[in-house]
């Protein structure tokens, strides 16, 4: 299988002799992985600058867009990478998700996960860890595996009660090797995210070719923009935490259920952007602030659909009626698969 072209250019936010800061598009992997090599941000930058010494100081998931720092000077690799590893860089994200009441739900959280090699408990039906790894490839969600006991876990704390937002979600997130989804389970808290409503509750409207055609208010679409500030950096943390609150992100094909999408489908991107990166420069201590220019967006017109992976299973397919100007909602319970 040949590597397809990813039809999005990488924006350069800043560069000097030592670093390059990019605005990574959706779908572009930070580094080569799986079938993706030449289309990764790393290889593209090395070819652009004719410099094989360029490396990333940190990473973003392929589905996530936004600010990423690359280091050009070998002697500074350790300083920049350590800064990110020690969480001395402050990251702020934005996403689009449903406008719904917040509530911790069962799906995506499990309890009673046993150590590898242990037998299931006949009184509870808990599956050993090795069975979870094997079965997770064949079910639409870890919480759907027979023998795994779903149950809410973690905490939600309102920062300014009785207002729902901002709030802080804390939980223990586990990511098993070979399993697509991460999940929450009982344990010492290792993941914390502050979630607030974004000041701007509009999004860019894009046509079938992905070109911006103006802005639209999110509320009439049953959506809201959220600002996410993680204190930790677990795999898929923001997606897991939003899903746990019953607010799966627009365009998320992983949570709460894995959705079957062709590898070369670059439509309906996950509406999650690493909006701002702020840190004290390891070279001189100066404060650096970089902001992504990639907008949150929704499709419009031409029979396009925006997909919301709702906790109840399946997808909400929202199509825009060009004549009436209204959105039509259709629930499709079968648009998922196990891997």
Say which residue the tokens 């309890």 belong to.
Answer: 111
CB 123 within 8 A of CB 129: no
pLDDT tens string 110-125: 554 444 445 555 565 5
Taking the C-alpha atoms of residue 233 and residue 59, their distance in angstroms, rounded to an integer, is 11
**Band (238; pLDDT cuts 50, 70, 90):** very high
Phi-psi region of 57 (alpha: psi -120 to 50; beta: other; left: phi over 0): alpha
pLDDT tens string 37-94: 999 999 999 999 999 999 999 999 999 999 999 999 999 999 999 999 999 999 999 9
Reported pTM: 0.84
Pairing of strands 272-280, 65-71: parallel
Taking the C-alpha atoms of residue 107 and residue 104, their distance in angstroms, rounded to an integer, is 9
H-type alpha helices, the chain: 41-49, 77-85, 129-135, 237-244
The pLDDT of residue 138 is 67
Helix, strand or coil, per DSSP, at residue 44: helix
The number of residues making up the chain comes to 339
Residue 224 has pLDDT above 60, yes or no: yes
pLDDT tens string 317-336: 454 454 544 444 455 444 43
The average pLDDT across 235-253 equals 94
CB 241 within 8 A of CB 195: yes
Mean per-residue pLDDT of the chain: 83
CB 49 within 8 A of CB 39: no
pLDDT tens string 20-42: 999 999 999 999 998 899 999 99
Task: Sort 311 into a burial class: Cβ within 10 Å, 0-12 / 13-18 / 19+.
Answer: buried
The pLDDT of residue 227 is 98
The pLDDT of residue 140 is 74
CB 39 within 8 A of CB 47: no
- The CATH fold assigned to 1-86 is Pseudouridine synthase (3.30.2350)
CB atoms within 10 A of CB 201: 15
In the chain, where are the structural domains located? 1-86, 90-99+152-278+293-332
**Band (144; pLDDT cuts 50, 70, 90):** confident
Q: For the chain, what percent of residues have pLDDT higher than 70?
A: 76
Higher pLDDT, 154 or 55: 55
The average pLDDT across 268-286 equals 97
The pLDDT of residue 127 is 60
What Å distances lie between residue 138 and 31, 145, 308, CA to CA?
A: 27, 9, 22
The average pLDDT across 260-279 equals 91
Which residues are registered as beta bridge partners of 249?
A: none
Say which residue the tokens 């069975």 belong to.
Answer: 131
Q: Which of 129, 339, 134, 100 is nearest to 243 (CA)?
A: 100
């Amino acid at each position: 299988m040949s590597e397809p072209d990813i039809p999005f250019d990488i924006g350069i936010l800043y560069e000097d002799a030592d670093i390059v800061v990019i605005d990574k598009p959706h779908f572009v992997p930070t580094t080569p992985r799986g079938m993706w090599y030449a289309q990764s941000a790393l290889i593209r930058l090395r070819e652009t600058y004719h410099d094989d010494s360029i490396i990333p100081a940190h990473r973003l998931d392929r589905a996530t867009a936004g600010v990423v720092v690359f280091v050009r000077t070998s002697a500074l690799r350790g300083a920049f990478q350590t800064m990110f590893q020690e969480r001395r860089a402050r990251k702020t994200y934005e996403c689009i998700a449903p406008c719904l009441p917040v509530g911790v739900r069962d799906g995506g959280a499990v309890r009673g996960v046993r150590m590898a090699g242990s037998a299931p408990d006949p009184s509870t039906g808990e599956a050993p860890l090795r069975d979870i790894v094997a079965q997770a490839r064949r079910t639409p969600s870890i919480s759907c595996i027979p023998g795994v006991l779903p149950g809410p876990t973690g905490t939600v704390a309102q920062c300014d009660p009785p207002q729902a937002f901002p709030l802080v979600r804390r939980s223990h997130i586990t990511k098993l090797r070979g399993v697509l989804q991460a999940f929450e389970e009982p344990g010492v808290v290792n993941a914390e995210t502050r979630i607030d409503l974004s000041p701007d509750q509009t999004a860019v409207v894009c046509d079938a070719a992905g070109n911006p055609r103006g802005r639209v208010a999110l509320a009439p679409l049953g959506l809201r923009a959220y600002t996410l500030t993680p204190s930790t950096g677990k795999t898929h943390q923001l997606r897991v935490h939003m899903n746990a609150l019953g607010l799966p992100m627009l365009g998320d094909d992983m949570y709460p259920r894995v959705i079957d999408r062709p590898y070369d489908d670059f439509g309906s991107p996950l509406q999650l952007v690493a909006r701002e990166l702020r840190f004290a420069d390891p070279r001189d201590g100066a404060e650096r602030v970089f902001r992504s220019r990639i907008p949150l967006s929704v499709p419009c017109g031409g029979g396009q659909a925006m997909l919301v992976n709702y906790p109840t299973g399946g997808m909400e397919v929202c199509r825009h009626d060009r004549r009436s100007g209204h959105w039509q909602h259709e629930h499709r319970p079968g648009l998922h698969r196990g891997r």
